Amino acid sequence: MPTPVPGSAPASGEAPPSGEAPPSGEAPPSGEATLSGDGSIRRLYEEHHGPLLRYVSGLLRGDRQRAEDFVQETLVRAWLSTEDQPPGWSPSRAWLMRVAHNLVIDWARRERPHAEIQHEHTLEQHAETVDPMSQAVQRRFLVHALSRLSHPHREVLFYVYVLGCTGPDAADALGIPPGTVKSRTHHAIRELRRRHPQHTLAAA
């Protein structure tokens, strides 16, 4: 993945993955400084680089070089998105963290099983203690079972159990309150247990 640097932009024609920036006309939450005039990318970098790097490094289990790539790409995309937003807006820290998180998630989807994302709850922790063959069957069951759930329930279980996100991280990535993540997870697991009582999956 190319590594943008402050003041530079991604290669021409490279479109950001969907979900990383608000659609045209929808302004992200306001930050403390505007992104107009010379040096705006530098102000973004100075204000948000450190906290974003710590956050993304945590997701990547301390892979600082890769985290730096994601952080710089996040800041450049935020800077470029000013063209589609009202004059004077700037992204909040939470908005930037969500963009960075989505970049990591997109990368993880492409790179698994090699991706190492920090998590508290994984399929292995919640599945029964069984032999490797049974664990493979359990994973296959989960993928099949998720396809039968509603989109909101399928989405939250994918983030929590397949990608291994914590509840708060899943909430940030999906743009919903943590309580909603917990509620949807609870109802989705209850539905899975109703349909497949022979399998177990603990609530996050």
The larger pLDDT score, comparing residue 118 to residue 84, is at 84
Number of domains in the chain: 2
28: cis peptide before it, omega within 30°? no
Asked if residue 110 has pLDDT above 50, the reply is yes
Contact 82, 35 (CB under 8 A): yes
> Long-range CB contacts (< 8 A, 24+ apart) of 84-88?
84/24, 84/25, 85/22, 85/27, 85/28, 86/27, 87/34, 87/36, 88/34, 88/36
Report the pLDDT value the prediction gives residue 60, as an integer from 0 to 100.
84
Quick check: is 102 in a domain?
yes
Quick check: is 172 in a domain?
yes
Same domain, yes or no, for 27 and 74? yes
Quick check: is 98 in a domain?
yes
CATH of the domain at 155: 1.10.10.10
Determine which of 39-43, 102-106, 110-114, 177-181 has the lowest per-residue pLDDT on average.
110-114
Q: Indicate the residue among 102, 117, 132 that finishes a domain.
A: 117
Same domain, yes or no, for 76 and 159? no
Same domain, yes or no, for 51 and 149? no
Asked if residue 20 has pLDDT above 50, the reply is no
Quick check: is 55 in a domain?
yes
Burial tier of 196 (Cβ tally within 10 Å: 0-12, 13-18, 19+): middle
Q: Indicate the residue among 93, 117, 141 that finishes a domain.
A: 117
Same domain, yes or no, for 96 and 162? no
Average pLDDT over residues 39-56: 82
Q: Indicate the residue among 101, 117, 133 that finishes a domain.
A: 117
Quick check: is 18 in a domain?
yes
The domain in which residue 137 lies consists of 123-195
Same domain, yes or no, for 46 and 80? yes
Report the pLDDT value the prediction gives residue 25, as an integer from 0 to 100.
35
Asked if residue 45 has pLDDT above 80, the reply is yes
Quick check: is 202 in a domain?
no
Same domain, yes or no, for 31 and 86? yes
